[in-house]
Amino acid sequence: MEKDVYILAIESSCDETAAAVMKNGREVCSNVIYSQIELHKLYGGVVPEIASRKHIEKINYVIEEALEKANKKLADIDAIAVTYGPGLVGALLVGVAEAKAIAYAANKPLVGVHHIEGHIAANYIENLDLEPPFLCLVVSGGHTHLVKVEDYDRFEILGKTRDDAAGEAFDKVARAIGLGYPGGPKIDALAKEGDKNAIAFPRAKVDDNPYDFSFSGLKSAVLNYLNQCEMKQVEINRADVAASFQYAVIDVLTTHAIVAAKELGIEKLAVAGGVASNSSLRESLQEACEKEGIQFYHPSPIYCTDNAAMIGVAGYYSYINGVSHGLDLNAVPNLKIGQRM
């Protein structure tokens, strides 16, 4: 019988300090997340300097807890996986420095992981039948990508946003209607009380690539609508604004993903990233996939937003494919999907 492979994974690219222990790639032994959301709420968004300081304060405890919950010691771990980009440079550096120190002290291989490839890999945790190739719609606070996952370590970007990321648009519109940070979950909840057809917000088309996205025009249209209402002293129905805005985002995301899947003849579609936990987006993709005979995959909400389990999955596939990094591994804030350092 083959020996089990245990990965200790670390994630600190934005405002979650996270560590996890994964067994043989897809089995979660522990998944510990310290979220800084409460701290950043005061400022209406993530403050990079505060995030870095909090990561430093929390990271040792989070890692200890992950090992404890998994009932493992460092000696039982085969490799240390860590997010090294993209993300906030100061935040990334905390995880990378920690992972390097552990790898050196415990004499374990070090595997650098791309954050977005981690988000995509989150789909493998609960979908044991999912294997590449498949199409993945990646929608997070910083990224909106339509990616063809050709293999565990090979990706082709079919389309991406030209301006704001989907999550960023949720956060900005939420702030404009006074919902606070982070906006995604709040709009998701408020939209359930509103009428998605109440206001006709625009769906942007990007001329030279049918798979690219643009959300800044939609964000401006919402701001204009709010201003107009104020000027005319018309009462704003925030639930209708939330529902109509959300519908505009979801409509574009769903249409692009389904058109790409059909044109490329791909029968599996996955969704990943923080916005993938949006209940209406999941319903919309599920429904469209059913209509087209496409198999739809999504992670549970806890594996959609930032976590280390997803980094452990991606790290595992890199590790068994012979990828390892030296102690000169650095944080790369603008690391591209599929790029290897």
- The residues that touch ligand KG4, with contacts defined as CB under 6 A, are 14, 140-142, 167, 170-171, 182-185, 188, 273-275, 277-278, 305-306
Q: Does 123 bind Zn ion (CB under 5 A)?
A: no
Q: Which of 102/168 has CB closer to ligand KG4?
A: 168
Q: Is 288 exposed, middle or buried (0-12, 13-18, 19+ CB in 10 A)?
A: middle
Roughly what angle, to the nearest 10 degrees, separates helices 166-176 and 183-191? 70
Q: Which of 79/252 has CB closer to ligand KG4?
A: 252
Provide, rounded to whole angstroms, the least separation between the CB of residue 306 and Zn ion.
Answer: 4
* Binder of residue 83, out of Zn ion, ligand KG4, none (CB less than 5 to 8 A by kind): none
| Residue 322 in tokens | 């012979």
Provide, rounded to whole angstroms, the least separation between the CB of residue 327 and Zn ion.
Answer: 25
Question: Which among 172-180, 209-217, 283-291, 300-308 is the span making contact with Zn ion, rule CB under 5 A?
Answer: 300-308
Q: How far apart are CA 92 and CA 94, in angstroms?
A: 5
State the Cα torsion 179-184-189-191 to the nearest 10°: 90
CA 149 to chain centre: 15
Q: How far apart are CA 81 and CA 312, in angstroms?
A: 6
Smallest Cα–Cα separation from 312: which of 29, 15, 16, 17? 29
Residue 67, H or E segment? helix 48-69
Q: Which of 103/159 has CB closer to ligand KG4?
A: 159
* Binder of residue 117, out of ligand KG4, Zn ion, none (CB less than 5 to 8 A by kind): none
* Binder of residue 52, out of Zn ion, ligand KG4, none (CB less than 5 to 8 A by kind): none
Provide, rounded to whole angstroms, the least separation between the CB of residue 272 and ligand KG4.
Answer: 8
Provide, rounded to whole angstroms, the least separation between the CB of residue 78 and ligand KG4.
Answer: 26
Question: Which among 166-174, 199-207, 245-253, 298-306 is the span making contact with Zn ion, rule CB under 5 A?
Answer: 298-306
* Binder of residue 29, out of ligand KG4, Zn ion, none (CB less than 5 to 8 A by kind): none
* Binder of residue 167, out of Zn ion, ligand KG4, none (CB less than 5 to 8 A by kind): ligand KG4
* Binder of residue 164, out of Zn ion, ligand KG4, none (CB less than 5 to 8 A by kind): none
Q: Is 330 exposed, middle or buried (0-12, 13-18, 19+ CB in 10 A)?
A: middle
* Binder of residue 185, out of ligand KG4, Zn ion, none (CB less than 5 to 8 A by kind): ligand KG4
Smallest Cα–Cα separation from 314: which of 2, 13, 3? 13
Q: Collapse the DSSP code of 151 into the 3-class scheme (helix H, G, I; strand E, B; otherwise coil) and give the result.
A: strand
Task: Write the DSSP symbol of residue 335.
Answer: P
Q: Which of 53/282 has CB closer to ligand KG4?
A: 282
Phi then psi dihedrals of residue 291, to 5 deg? -65, -35
Q: Which of 6/303 has CB closer to Zn ion?
A: 303
Smallest Cα–Cα separation from 285: which of 328, 252, 314? 252
CB 188 within 8 A of CB 172: no
Query: Which residue in the set 90, 306, 335, 337 belongs to the binding site for Zn ion (CB under 5 A)?
Result: 306
* Binder of residue 254, out of ligand KG4, Zn ion, none (CB less than 5 to 8 A by kind): none
Q: Which of 120/191 has CB closer to Zn ion?
A: 120
Q: Which of 90/183 has CB closer to ligand KG4?
A: 183
Q: Interface with Zn ion by CB under 5 A: which residues?
A: 140, 306
